[in-house]
Chains A and B, each alone.
Chain A
Amino acid sequence: MVALKAAVAEINEKQFIKIELEDSAVLIPMSDDKADDVKSAFNKLIVRIKKGEFQVKLEGPGDDLFSQVASEYIKQLNREIKEVHAEMQQHGLTA
């Protein structure tokens, strides 16, 4: 199973979950409610799932609030990535 690294990243004083794909990075904003940015990140994750199943591994989480959020969020996300991959496989949409 491919494991993609993720980390809590601070960019311009805003907190993000940063997931490293092979050729780019996905940023999920945590500081602000930006649904469109989250959807945009999801689109990239779906495209990545088409290439093959993976799990996101949060590196070096701390005890701070954003680390706790990121940790829980990624735990749920991994479960859902697995389910979406299975669904795609069933319909022949994966590589």
Chain B
Amino acid sequence: MKIDIHTHTRKCKSGDAQTREITAKQFCEAVLATDVGVIAITNHNVFDLVQFQQIQAGMGSVQVWPGVELDIVENGSRGHLLVIVSPAVVAKFSETVKSITDGQSPNTFTISIEEVLSGFDAMKPLYVAHYKQKQPSLPDAALAKLLAGTKNSNFVLKEVTNAISAGIYISHGHSSIYGSDIHDWAKYGECATELPDLRLSVDGFEHFCLLLNKDPATINTVLDRKTPEHLTLRPFGDGSVIEVRAYNDINVVFGPKGTGKSCILKAIARHYSENGIDASVYEPASDRLDEIYDIAGAQLNVNLNDHKVNYCQNEISALRKASEVDVTSLSKYKAYYQSDITNKNAKKLLLKDIEPDEDGGPKRDFGGYNEALKNTQHFLEFLTDNTSVKEVLSNEEHEQIYTLIVVLATRLSDRRWSSFSEWKEIQLLNSAIKLFRKEVERKTGKPAMPMTTGFRAYAKNRIAIERSASAIVRSVETVIPPLRDPIGSLGPEKGELELLTEIRFQDGNVTDSSLRPIVGAKKTTMKKFVNNIREIRAHVYSDDLFQCISNLNEIEDVESVKTVYELLLFKRCFALGGEQYAPSSGEASMVMLQKELGTDKDVYILDEPERSLGNEYINDVIVPLLKERARENKRVFISTHDANIAVRTLPYSSIYRCHGKSGYSTYVGNPFTNNLVNPKDATDKMDWKKVSMRTLEGGEEAFGERGNIYGSA
């Protein structure tokens, strides 16, 4: 959730841009389209109560605070001061602004600090003074007068120009903040992304002010909205106990090297594992990237069905077993015509002289109707059972469709039966003819007329071989698109690192030696196999077809190719922009950490995740990921020496380990109270910010740039 303490809805001054003018409706639309959850309306020397109320009514859960930006003149110097109050006193605030500015043009109106205090201070406002580079800045003397005169000096903030300035001033002890000070509402969406985040949830204006007071009770109440958990850890093997209050948010363990931070993390992992929660300590191991991502492809498995590729197990088996079909010798025809049947009874058996018929047609018809009927019946079942279909059809419509499909099923069933009957009739007739011819031949010793030339069987055998060979060739000619698995970002300049897995069939032409078989078949066997299949297909209606099939069966290790899966080759590598890329050890660390944080877990335990990583990467990629996990209420424990992580994430819980004259000590606290307290002695306190700045690498810079998070301002 973001906060914007400085907005305008009116062009009040001659210098104001026209684009500052916005209606209540437009204001609501613009703000509701952003992550802004708290917004103050601070027009120049004007407060429009009606518009404020219209806006408040249209903003839903977004808090709208009333305010005004006043032109302060002190000792001849001019500066701007925002006065923001609780919505609870908006009526009084409106009256006060009206009476103070009564009769004066907002363009020329000025007011002194004394008058401000006299008019507004009783309403316990939040004062936000333009400071230094934020022009026109309130002169130091006027600011001092404000701080001295107000009853609530904690509620005086300094408005600076941006996040970096805010961070720098905060690190130097100035409570600072910044707002959009929007000039053009058309650009508010873009502008809102740069606004400060509220790390702790704020219930309202008064609650915000309590948090500014750094009241521990208030802060703890907010922290406890997450789920606090009391961990009793024994990390060091000497029986010593560490009591830790952990949250389902970010928890940081920090301190100098050699103070047992890793042992604490291991004890935390043990604690959760013993409670049945998957938890292990993540440690960077950049040298294992190839192994983790299985570059060798040991676990690589491709489902060819996903690519609509036939595995061709039956086809390969059929081809390897294929044999020639004999044809009918023409001498049998000659023998028939040369013989003279004299047996009287044989002459009476006319059935033997009937011409056989082909049963292929009705058999194919039967197959077609049978398949169609089965599918129709499945559809009928689907139509009857499917609740979604019933939802979108009225009873009458459902009945109509059902009836039509039943008619179709009945017709198909009739056709199926008639074709089946015809097929079997022909088969019966042919069998009878064959039987009679055989019997006459046996009884008379005279040869019977052959039933077939053998052409049908011969041709069908060749057709089957062609179909098998074609199916295999079709499969191996399928282009399988490369698999691109995102690994992680290498930063905005380099982009996304991918795991690129190129998969292709040995189609007889592949010579790239970097492609390796997915399974154990030899590359030469694969290549010869495919080339032989192509040869078979080319010679399927040639006299030497079965020589080609013999050649296939003679290939060394040909039995290792049972399906086309054994003809798959692959190459797996890391890639950037589609080109092979070897990530450095630092980059390997980056992506491994992203993988860890990208895995859905309840508990993340990271031991010095910053190792080998640059600050920019930590800030731009890792810190946002950690915050995201925290927003998802995951428990994140981080041992770190890096201020970018410890400071920028503003951990709900900080565990500080140190070693002094009295031995090792543990302090716990958080950046919001800015305290680290020794649990064994509540009076033994340290300043969270100072300790962080002293202990953590890059501490000062991190504080300096942290300003876009409202926390320990």
Contacts and interface: CB of A to CB of B under 8 A. Distances in A.
Contacts of A80: 358, 452-453, 455-456, 459
Given A30-B330, A43-B462, 20 more contacts: A28-B330, A35-B329, A36-B543, A38-B327, A38-B330, A39-B324, A42-B327, A46-B459, A46-B463, A65-B334, A65-B338, A69-B333, A72-B333, A72-B449, A76-B450, A80-B452, A80-B453, A84-B456, A87-B360, A90-B364
Given A65-B334, A91-B467, A84 B455 contact: yes
14 contacts: A30-B330, A39-B324, A42-B459, A43-B543, A65-B334, A69-B337, A72-B333, A72-B337, A83-B360, A84-B455, A86-B364, A87-B364, A87-B460, A93-B466
A88 B459 CA distance: 10
A43 B542 contact: yes
Contacts of A29: 330
Interface string A23-41: 0000011100101101110
A45 to B, nearest CB: 7
A21 interface: no
A84 B342 CA distance: 37
Nearest to A69: B333
Contacts of B395: none
A77 interface: yes
A69 B334 contact: yes
Contacts of A47: 541
A82 interface: yes
Contacts of A73: 330, 333, 453
Given A30-B330, A35-B327, A83-B360, A77 B455 contact: yes
A-B pairs with the 8 shortest C-beta distances? A80-B456, A69-B333, A84-B459, A83-B358, A80-B455, A83-B360, A43-B541, A68-B337
A84 B543 CA distance: 19
A34 B460 CA distance: 21
A69 B333 CA distance: 6
A81 interface: yes
Contact of A81 (B333, B337, B455): B455
Contact of A91 (B324, B327, B463, B542): B463
B102 interface: no
Interface residues of B, number: 33
Contacts of B467: 91, 93
Contacts of B338: 65
Interface residues of A, number: 36
- Among B333, B452, B542: residue with most chain A CB under 10 A: B333
Query: Main SS of chain B's interface residues?
Result: helix
Contacts, number: 94
Contacts of A36: 543
A79 B330 contact: no
Nearest to B335: A69
A81 to B, nearest CB: 7
Interface of A: 28-30, 33, 35-36, 38-40, 42-43, 45-47, 49, 65-66, 68-69, 72-73, 75-77, 79-84, 86-88, 90-91, 93
B361 interface: yes
Contacts of A46: 459, 462-463, 541
A43 to B, nearest CB: 5
Contacts of A93: 463, 466-467
Nearest to A16: B330
A67 to B, nearest CB: 10
B458 A42 contact: yes
A44 B449 CA distance: 25
Interface in B499-531: none
Nearest to B361: A86
Contacts of B554: none
Contacts of A86: 360-361, 364
Nearest to B451: A76
A45 B466 contact: no
Interface in B321-353: 324, 326-327, 329-331, 333-334, 337-338
Given A73-B453, A76-B453, A83-B361, A40 B330 contact: no
B355 interface: yes
B331 A33 contact: yes
Given A35-B326, A35-B327, A42 B455 contact: yes
A24 B488 CA distance: 67
A80 B454 CA distance: 9
Contact of A39 (B333, B334, B543): B543
A75 B360 CA distance: 17
Contacts of B334: 30, 65-66, 69
Contacts of A33: 329-331
Nearest to B449: A72
A47 B538 CA distance: 12
Interface in B217-248: none
A90 B449 CA distance: 30
B466 A84 contact: no
A38 to B, nearest CB: 5
A51 to B, nearest CB: 12
Interface in B116-153: none
A39 B460 CA distance: 13
Contacts of B329: 33, 35
Contacts of B459: 42, 45-46, 49, 80, 84, 87
Contacts of B453: 73, 76-77, 80
B115 to A, nearest CB: 95
B460 A84 contact: yes
Contacts of A77: 453, 455
Nearest to A50: B541
B83 to A, nearest CB: 84
Contacts of B360: 83, 86-87
A80 B456 CA distance: 5
A84 B537 CA distance: 18
Contacts of A82: 358
B543 A40 contact: yes
A88 B455 contact: no
Given A45-B455, A79-B358, A88 B327 contact: no
Nearest to A68: B337
